[in-house]
Amino acid sequence: MPEEVLTPKRRMKFINRKLETGMGMAVARRTYLRRLLDKQTGRERWESWEEVADRVARGNTGLLDKKFAKHAKEEYALMKKHISNGSMLMSGRHLQHGDESQKERNMEVFTNCFDKNTKFLTQEYGAVSFGEVEGKTVTVKARDGEWRTAKVKGFGTQKLYKITFGPVNNAQSNNNLEVIATKNHRWFLKNGSVTEDLQVGDIIEPAKAHLDLDTEGIRHGLIYGDGTGHKSRNDYPGRIHSQGRQYNSIRLCGDDKNYLKYFKEFTVTYPPHANGDPVVYLGQKDWKDLPFTKDPSYIAGFIHGWWLADGSKTYPTTKGIEISTANTPAVEWLKEHAPFAGYIVTGFSEHQRKEGDGSYPHGEKLVSVRLAQNKPRKVLAIKEFGEDQVFCVEEPITTGFVLANGLLTGNCSTATSTYILFYLLMNGSGVGRPYDDDMCVVNWDNMPNVRCVIAEEHPDFAWGVDESVRDAEHKYGHGDGIHWFEVPDSREGWAQAIEKIEVMAFEKKYKDDMLILDFSKVRAKGQPIRGMQNRPSSGPKPIMNAIAKLATIKGANMSPWKQAMFADHYTAECVLVGGARRSARIATKNWTDPEIFDFINIKRGGFLWSANNSVAVDDKFWKQRTKHAHKVLAAITKASYEDGTGEPGFINQHKLVQNDDGYDDYQDGHYAESKKYTPMKHTYKMLSLLARNAASKVYSQIPNPCGEISLNMLGGYCVIGDVVPFYAPTLDDAEEAFRATTRALIRVNTYMDSLYNREVKRTNRIGVGMTGIHEFAWNMYGYSFHDLIDEEKSQDFWNTLARFKRAVVDEAEQYSKKLGMNVPHTNTTIKPSGTISKLFALTEGAHLPSMREYIRWVQYRSDDPQVKKYKAKGYPVKELRSYSGSTAVGFPTQPLICRLGMGGKLVTAAEAKPEEQYKWLMLLEKYWIVGVDAHGKPLEDTGNQVSYTLKYDPTRVTYKEYADMVDKYQGLIKCCSVMPQQDATAYEYQPEQPVTISEFMRVINEIEKDENLFEDIDYEHLKCDSGACPI
């Protein structure tokens, strides 16, 4: 019999869909839309959604070989139709960066950034331009003020803009800062948000200041500013005359006597010629010269000491400091080095000296430089700057770094390259790493005794602190059991030093040996770099300090898995800092491991914060109910409930789809290589053992941190796209969208390069998802959430999802054969879809709507004419105390699901019982993730997972109720995060403020008639719900 023809409540047709006004447009402008030049008006404008559909479709279908030219043309038309209609949504990165240049780029990341001459802070090269270090791994000053490893990459030719930054208070300044960048580069705003649509008037977050002042740096600054240096001296009482060396001293007059506290260990005299003032003799120091170091603490101390000696004390220190000098090289040093300590230059002035005006001769100018820390800057202007090659760095922990002018900026990529995940694993760290005993193959107790040495001629050598190469040679020699490793002066040198330690520990025969890491070849702090216009380097100290910390693992009486967690945490601070994606690392451990209780409690109190922890469990854990299983379950629920973090979570490994075809081949260790990255040769033995151990495990899959994709624990990759069946005119059109999305994702796997090429070719994993599910269910079938969890009542809806699942399976098989690829091991998923769904105000992935109505607050400059306009119309307005000069305007917002006439049948997340949500997940897994055939029999499981966060109110749910709920339901689904609800009312304003219907109606009634607002609000329905239904 033919299928029943359904009559949807709201008839759909293919259109060039408009983005949701307010929130949808704001999200699109922030993340996906590009600025285009209007040829008719000569002015810039935003892309339309139809234009986004066009470039994304061209980029994806352009991946096909020339032999598929006709097919590519047909696919382009189909993709454009569905994306423009909103019935097909590729992942966020594809929407943002997909275009005709996609074929030449890596699967891991699409990105835009700075021009080649823009400089940023590094420890290796000082302030260096992107063009000079393309392809290098450098250590940048990250958003949190720490120095973190990052990769410099080039991303082709892009349109550039000159962005001018100045004081927040609109004061006149002769030291505005300029940056040349793409328009959609990421910036952190002072209000805590992140934007890729920087506007004039935006205030950016300041770089984190370095607050530690090195005492020796303070002394150096005092001597430089007000001390003396002599090439000879007279020693009393013997009156011995020494020449050829520079000896420093300083006379502390008046209030300067307070600075004696910095010189406690030096000789202080009160000679007659000083009229009783203390004179400090410091011996042989080069402190009348500027520092060569890039050490932030030393620079901060030096600047402070220089200011104490030679700075203006009338300029308020709350605004910053002012230093005056006639020494031109000193001015340049200050401008270049101050950002290392978190300063920006806020003022710069020159003064001509007159006779008798100080000790300088007539005509020599005096330069005054004003510096400030934690000083936000405001965007004053944005102007076109032509086109050129663009570059950026990828810093995965904080996704931010500091430019050479002291401005904080963001990584432009939305995810870190996946090769970092493997590189971290190779060095004992990683994202998505299992800490099962058999997967931690390095016992760090077997590491050799490590000594970091450096030649005493090396400028970074510190007497009394560092061990010199000469001393080490005399002390240790070069005999048996003594291993010298000269750390290369290259982008991989630091990683090789860590890797050398790990491999020797792995081989278990060097425990009593000595490994001497010689850092003499690593560029010294401040020394010139050949071929780099004599640019200064930061030297080897950061990695030497990290290794010293790493060495403390030996003999700490920890098991290898715990050693690995500490090693990962320590190295994340220095070498290839942790996390191969923008989300946090996920650390897992099997519930049967002997020390599972240590793993459960290891993060309690905020310890080892760099990963999210989950316990990997299986069918035996839930069904056999052993005494050990009960104890593990109790420990997990107690920690997650009492700490209010939801950690550790559960991973039902037995429910993750695992296909081992070809998996044994990875035992050669060559399972993570691409055109752009090859691991070092001596790591393959360790990688081979990891592969053998993984292959011998019953379960070798763990999820990505968000939980929607099943990945090989050795490393994997999966591309995702969403379908919105709600916008499809018919079910046949919806199926067409599901099939088109399947083909688009397989094209990405087939033609784009990635680190995990071998795993991608083996598994061809894709994730066809959907969002706006609740809108689709109501519009096409008239089903609410409570109807949907009544499986018998809503069987036709579930049969339709099963139909779509079968279409994805069929298309994946047919298209993979056409392109010569393996059939995807997994094919369906439901991701969180938070950002994508906001474009059209849809419910997000599998989630229920969080609220029916709310006030969406949008921040503006207080002097923006729009503020006055909105205020006059009656929109709520808040002058923000926390963000001076900023005003928030509130827009009444109603999600699309609330405008479909559901009335009392609408259920929000807070109204659904946890048990009901678990049932919802089980049905989604049955019909969409696994699927059933036309007779209702389960298909072979080729699904990933549903990413879902189930929230409960800890003020209403007791621990016993929580534990019983988890015990009853968590083992029945593949995965689910269970988190407590949090109260955000303490903030000055929330981006989305929950309100009652009465409050919502009051705001609407106070607003003058605004067609743009009211077309997105079911006004009559609201009046009915509030008890004022019109007759």
| pLDDT score of 352 more than 60 | yes
Residue 396 forms part of a structural domain: yes
Same domain, 220 and 281: yes
Same domain, 190 and 312: no
Of these ranges, 180-194, 262-276, 387-401, 555-569, the one predicted with the greatest mean pLDDT is 555-569
- The dihedral formed by the CA atoms of 408, 96, 100 and 829, expressed in degrees to the nearest 10: 130
Task: State which residues form the domain around 398.
Answer: 114-208+376-410
DSSP class of residue 525? Answer: B
Query: What distance in Å separates the CA atoms of residue 537 and residue 301, rounded to the nearest whole number?
Result: 19
**Domain total in the chain:** 4
The pLDDT-based confidence of 423 (bands split at 50, 70, 90) is very low
CA angle 125/131/136 to nearest 5° reads 55
What tens digit of pLDDT does each residue of 608-651 get? 766 778 999 999 999 988 999 999 999 999 999 998 888 899 99
Q: What is the pLDDT of residue 165?
A: 87
Q: What is the pLDDT of residue 735?
A: 98
Same domain, 128 and 93: no
| pLDDT score of 577 more than 80 | no
The one-letter amino acid code at 128 reads V
Q: What is the pLDDT of residue 5?
A: 45
Q: What is the pLDDT of residue 830?
A: 94
Tokens of 275: 């009229």
Out of 105-119, 340-354, 874-888, least confident range: 105-119
Q: Could you count the other beta carbons within 10 Å of the beta carbon of residue 192?
A: 11
Q: Could you count the other beta carbons within 10 Å of the beta carbon of residue 160?
A: 23
Cα distances from 997 to residues 227, 773, 904, in angstroms, run: 71, 25, 13
Residue 952 forms part of a structural domain: no
Same domain, 550 and 499: yes
Residues near 679 by beta carbon (within 8 Å), at least 6 away in sequence = 422, 423, 426, 672, 673, 687
Same domain, 72 and 182: no
- Bridge pairing between strands 482-486 and 514-518: parallel
The pLDDT-based confidence of 585 (bands split at 50, 70, 90) is low
| pLDDT score of 107 more than 70 | no
Query: What distance in Å separates the CA atoms of residue 282 and residue 226, rounded to the nearest whole number?
Result: 14
- Of residues 115 and 180, more confidence is placed in 180
Residue 90 forms part of a structural domain: yes
Query: What distance in Å separates the CA atoms of residue 97 and residue 83, rounded to the nearest whole number?
Result: 15
Query: What distance in Å separates the CA atoms of residue 721 and residue 726, rounded to the nearest whole number?
Result: 16
- Bridge pairing between strands 719-723 and 766-770: parallel
Q: Could you count the other beta carbons within 10 Å of the beta carbon of residue 573?
A: 18
Residues near 1014 by beta carbon (within 8 Å), at least 6 away in sequence = none
| pLDDT score of 412 more than 60 | no
Residues near 531 by beta carbon (within 8 Å), at least 6 away in sequence = none
Whether cis (ω within 30° of 0) applies to the bond prior to 679 is no
We report the CATH number of the domain holding residue 1 as: 3.20.70.20
Q: What percent of the chain has pLDDT over 90?
A: 30
The one-letter amino acid code at 199 reads Q
The pLDDT-based confidence of 215 (bands split at 50, 70, 90) is confident
Q: What is the pLDDT of residue 414?
A: 25
Tokens 């000491």 -> residue: 305
- Of residues 798 and 480, more confidence is placed in 798
Same domain, 167 and 226: no
| pLDDT score of 7 more than 80 | no
What tens digit of pLDDT does each residue of 757-777 get? 888 889 999 999 999 999 999
Which of 141, 194, 180 is CA-nearest to residue 393? Answer: 141
- The dihedral formed by the CA atoms of 935, 829, 717 and 409, expressed in degrees to the nearest 10: 170
| pLDDT score of 1023 more than 70 | no
Which of 967, 966, 973 is CA-nearest to residue 946? Answer: 973
Q: What is the pLDDT of residue 574?
A: 58
Q: What is the pLDDT of residue 672?
A: 64
Domain boundary among 524, 557, 580: 580
Residue 121 forms part of a structural domain: yes
Out of 43-57, 244-258, 749-763, 978-992, least confident range: 978-992
Residue 22 forms part of a structural domain: yes
Q: What is the pLDDT of residue 361?
A: 52
Average of per-residue pLDDT values in the chain: 79
Same domain, 503 and 532: yes
- Of residues 17 and 175, more confidence is placed in 17
Q: What is the pLDDT of residue 105?
A: 53
- Bridge pairing between strands 977-980 and 943-946: unpaired
Query: What distance in Å separates the CA atoms of residue 175 and residue 369, rounded to the nearest whole number?
Result: 10
Q: What is the pLDDT of residue 537?
A: 52
Q: Could you write out the three-class secondary structure of 610-635?
A: CEEEEEEECHHHHHCCCHHHHHHHHH
Residue 551 forms part of a structural domain: yes
Sign of CA dihedral 730, 733, 737, 739: positive
Check: CB of residue 57 under 8 Å from CB of residue 100.
no
Q: Could you count the other beta carbons within 10 Å of the beta carbon of residue 297?
A: 18
Tokens of 96: 């943002």
| Stretch 288-297: mean pLDDT | 83
Which of 53, 155, 50 is CA-nearest to residue 102? Answer: 155
Domain boundary among 537, 561, 580: 580
We report the CATH number of the domain holding residue 243 as: 3.10.28
Q: What phi, psi does 858 have (nearest 5°)?
A: -120, 130
Crossing angle, helix 49-61 and helix 731-751, to 10 degrees?
50
Same domain, 432 and 546: yes
Ramachandran sector of residue 23 (left: φ over 0; alpha: ψ -120 to 50; beta: rest): alpha
Q: What is the pLDDT of residue 567?
A: 82
Which of 999, 1004, 1003, 998 is CA-nearest to residue 1019? Answer: 1004
Tokens of 769: 């998802």
What tens digit of pLDDT does each residue of 234-277 get? 444 444 444 444 677 888 887 888 888 888 888 888 888 877 78
Same domain, 193 and 293: no
59 CB-side CA count, 13 A: 25
The pLDDT-based confidence of 943 (bands split at 50, 70, 90) is very high
Crossing angle, helix 69-85 and helix 49-61, to 10 degrees?
150
pTM: 0.62
Of these ranges, 100-104, 278-282, 592-596, 700-704, the one predicted with the greatest mean pLDDT is 592-596
Q: What phi, psi does 513 have (nearest 5°)?
A: -85, 175
DSSP class of residue 905? Answer: G
386 three-class SS:
strand
The pLDDT-based confidence of 580 (bands split at 50, 70, 90) is very low
Same domain, 163 and 235: no
Query: What distance in Å separates the CA atoms of residue 313 and residue 439, rounded to the nearest whole number?
Result: 60
Cα distances from 65 to residues 68, 696, 744, 812, 889, in angstroms, run: 6, 39, 14, 19, 50
CA angle 189/195/200 to nearest 5° reads 70
Residue 241 forms part of a structural domain: yes
| Stretch 157-184: mean pLDDT | 77
Q: What percent of the chain has pLDDT over 70?
A: 78
Own/partner long-range contacts of 350-353 (Cβ < 8 Å, ≥24 apart): 353/326
For the chain, the C-alpha Rg in angstroms (whole number) is 32
- Of residues 747 and 110, more confidence is placed in 747
205 three-class SS:
coil
Which of 436, 704, 428 is CA-nearest to residue 596? Answer: 436
Q: What is the pLDDT of residue 196?
A: 63
We report the CATH number of the domain holding residue 489 as: 3.30.1620.10
Check: CB of residue 961 under 8 Å from CB of residue 827.
no
Check: CB of residue 131 under 8 Å from CB of residue 116.
yes
Query: What distance in Å separates the CA atoms of residue 399 and residue 393, rounded to the nearest whole number?
Result: 9
Check: CB of residue 429 under 8 Å from CB of residue 568.
yes
| Stretch 85-90: mean pLDDT | 92
Q: What phi, psi does 673 have (nearest 5°)?
A: -140, 145
Query: What distance in Å separates the CA atoms of residue 926 and residue 958, rounded to the nearest whole number?
Result: 30
The pLDDT-based confidence of 521 (bands split at 50, 70, 90) is confident
The pLDDT-based confidence of 938 (bands split at 50, 70, 90) is very high
Q: What is the pLDDT of residue 674?
A: 59
Residue 999 forms part of a structural domain: no
| pLDDT score of 48 more than 90 | yes
Q: What is the pLDDT of residue 271?
A: 82
Query: What distance in Å separates the CA atoms of residue 72 and residue 410, rounded to the nearest whole number?
Result: 36
Ramachandran sector of residue 547 (left: φ over 0; alpha: ψ -120 to 50; beta: rest): alpha
Same domain, 104 and 132: no
Same domain, 765 and 913: yes
Cα distances from 118 to residues 163, 182, 203, 391, 900, in angstroms, run: 12, 12, 20, 9, 51
Query: What distance in Å separates the CA atoms of residue 544 and residue 453, rounded to the nearest whole number?
Result: 9
| pLDDT score of 106 more than 70 | no
